[in-house]
């Protein structure tokens, strides 16, 4: 479940991936929740995965490591103040079994970005 954020901590958006089998006719959210369906356009992202619970200190450490890796290559980072955290496990999963990712929009990777 990706969530977007900025280092200032002012904006969080929770997103849930819907399988391709629902494309064209996704399940409708409960109207009381005031959710909206948003289709993402194609984009290029750099990803760094990490385990455990995604707390603020770990997220910041992983973002810095991803930025360092990208700065050592010929890749353009679209916005260093914007990133996405993807959490793939329920909170009940064991710490060692958890998978998280930090995503940053980039360009300059091949001809499609």
Give the confidence band of 113 by pLDDT, cuts at 50, 70, 90.
Answer: low
Q: How far apart are CA 20 and CA 78, in angstroms?
A: 27
Domain 2-107 has CATH 3.30.450.20: no
Q: What is the dihedral of CA 52, 55, 57, 60, to 10 degrees?
A: 90
Q: Which residues contact 53 (CB under 8 A, 6 or more apart)?
A: 95, 98
pLDDT tens digits for range 78-101: 887 888 888 887 777 787 788 999
Q: Average pLDDT, whole number, for the chain?
A: 80
- Domain boundaries, given as residue ranges, for the chain: 2-107
């Amino acid at each position: 479940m990706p969530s977007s954020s900025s280092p200032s901590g002012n904006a969080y958006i929770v997103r849930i991936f819907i399988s391709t089998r629902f494309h064209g006719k996704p399940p409708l959210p409960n109207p009381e929740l005031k959710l909206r369906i948003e289709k993402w356009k194609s984009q290029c992202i750099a990803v760094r995965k990490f385990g455990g619970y995604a707390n603020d200190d770990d997220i910041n450490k992983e973002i810095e490591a991803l930025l360092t890796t990208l700065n050592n290559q010929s890749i353009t980072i679209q916005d260093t103040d914007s990133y996405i955290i993807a959490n793939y496990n329920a909170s009940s999963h064991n710490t060692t079994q958890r998978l998280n990712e930090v995503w940053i929009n980039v360009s300059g990777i091949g001809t499609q970005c």
